A and B are shown apart, each in its own frame.
Chain A
Amino acid sequence: MKEPVRPFLTIAEAGRLIAAKKLSPVELTRALLKRIEVVDPKISAFLLVTNQRAMTAARAAEKAVMAGQKGRLLGIPLAYKDIFETAGVRTTAHSRILLDNVPKQDAETVRRLHAAGAVMLGKLATHEFAIGGPATDLPWPPARNPWDTRRFTGGSSSGSGAAVAAGLALGALGSDTGGSIRLPAAYCGIAGFKPTPGLVSRRGVIPLAPSLDTAGPMAWTAQDCAILLDVLAGHDPADPASVAVPLPGYAKAIEAPLKGMRVGVLRRFYEHDVPATPEMLKMMAQAAATLKALGCRVEEAVLPPVQDFNAVGRIIISAEAYALHEATLHARLSEYSRVFRIRVLAGGLIRAADYITAQRRRSELIAAAGTVFGKFDVLISAPTAGAAPLLAEQRPDEGFAQPFLTTVANVAALPSLVVCGGFTATGLPLGLEIMGPAWGDAAVLRVGHQFEVAAGLRGRRPEV
């Protein structure tokens, strides 16, 4: 274990160095805990830092490495959005409601990561119960964007986006019901992957809207997401939505070149439905050109308007979230944040007929997306209209008034990845979204990885 710890390592780099016994998991973990101590007060990504547990796990990983054990996550320090249950470690969902909640069992995703030798650094900020944020009337402040701390991280996996971008953790777990992995990935300039529903277990992940909830990895690169997915993916009978599918080996699958791949550009989404900024439009044109240069056949693709997906998503999320929280809302209404109340209480007024209409419309939208994938292998779009807005400009009714581009993949049950596609003139990251057909997770990650390598944007980090 010879090399000094270099800041901003990726999971792939750190894994190689650890396997070669050139990097000590103990030294890596110690360096990150020190960095969290210095940087986190500026960005509030962590709700809880588990110093002792992290050092114990790192020592165990180091011992395993020295004994010849192999594994790409062995000794890799990660952190989890605070809706993933962790045995013996407080899991709050960033809410007063769960201030004293100490689960007895790890979420299946956490269990898999720990079994693979990953080191937990702590629990990360989220919007309250993955929907109520950013909020200033909670026990912890909202996370801030490391590229400009006056700006929003995106949510709800806000701490995950901020921690990975600031180099406080090599990877993180996030959850995504309407864009909660991919929005922070876009605004924080990292990679965030929402898998096909059923690929990654949600057991032990505090639900928001079970018919749309997914859990997935967030990291600096698509390659790191693939490495994490290799451990996270797999059938779990304890999650009723989990599906037993053959797993291709994602980290290996992404290495195949893109020549001949059919890429559909959902231009109308960001030119008309949710009009993007000129910088975002330019970035999308450049991204399409990069994919063409990689040998892809790039043509325009058309899906129903974003507003159709968003209406269905918002109605389902509001109704299901209200149903899950109803009893607690009756007993402890004032303990929730105002943002949570605004986004969830109206769900109690939705008629069953309207909820069922939303579910029926969802089936139509899934079918419409399926038709498009007859012509294309992947689709690309802008995940947001532009770069991260100011935190102070965030509205509590966000997502209702202005549709989220990312909700399309949740409603249509598609795997979707956001990678950094470029930067604004002021140095803020802009995201690129890549969607694939159901179970086309490997193809999506492959396009993201090859794009990142060709675009050469991963060397730039925030100065926080």
Chain B
Amino acid sequence: MATPPATQTPSMTPAEMQILVSRTGLVLNPGQVADLVLAWRQIAGLIGAMPRGRPMGDDMALSFRLAPPAPPPAAPKRVAKPKPKAAAKPKAAAKRVPLRRAAPRR
């Protein structure tokens, strides 16, 4: 499978980082901002490494659903010997539905 080229994610200035952090609504102390810068550099590297430029119509659903496994191949069917016809039974008499007795009036 041909892999489309990766694009470079531009590095982020401290001011840009501050804007992004403010968008998240988080209030971070300087130590936490320093940790975030460290982590973001790693994530930005991963984002930059992802190939892009796929055709727009490709994989529009952005999701997948695994199909269930194929059922095992069916065993060859045995040809059943025709059973000798049993003598026709007389039709059962229609079931009698007992009449409901009217509830005694009180």
Contact = CB atoms under 8 A, between A and B. Distances in A.
A315 to B, nearest CB: 6
A439 B66 contact: yes
A345 B46 contact: no
Contact of A438 (B24, B59, B62, B66): B66
Interface in A392-415: 396-397, 400-401, 413
A342 B46 contact: no
Nearest to A371: B1
B66 A314 contact: no
Interface stretch (B33-41, B76-84, B85-93, B95-103): B33-41
Interface residues of B, number: 33
Contacts of B43: 314-315, 318, 346-347, 349-350, 400
A346 B40 contact: yes
Contacts of B59: 360, 363-364
Contact of A342 (B38, B52, B64): B38
A314 B54 CA distance: 21
A364 B20 CA distance: 30
Given A342-B38, A401-B42, A439 B69 contact: yes
A413 B49 contact: no
A345 B54 contact: no
Contacts of A438: 66, 69
Interface string B37-71: 01110110011011110100011001110101101
A358 B1 CA distance: 17
A229 interface: no
The interface residues of chain B, by DSSP majority, are classed as: loop
Contact of A341 (B24, B35, B50, B66): B35
A311 interface: yes
A1 interface: no
B46 A439 contact: no
A198 B35 contact: no
Interface residues of A, number: 51
Contact of A360 (B20, B47, B54, B69): B54
Contacts of A326: 24
A349 B40 contact: yes
Nearest to B3: A304
Contact of A333 (B26, B39, B47): B26
24 contacts: A304-B1, A311-B47, A326-B24, A329-B26, A330-B26, A342-B39, A346-B36, A346-B40, A347-B43, A350-B43, A354-B50, A357-B52, A360-B54, A361-B50, A363-B62, A363-B64, A364-B54, A368-B1, A371-B1, A401-B42, A413-B64, A438-B66, A438-B69, A439-B68
Interface of B: 1, 3, 20-21, 24-28, 32, 35-36, 38-40, 42-43, 46-47, 49-52, 54, 58-59, 62-64, 66, 68-69, 71
Listed from nearest, the 9 A-B pairs whose CB atoms lie closest are A400-B42, A346-B39, A311-B46, A439-B69, A348-B24, A346-B43, A346-B40, A354-B47, A342-B39
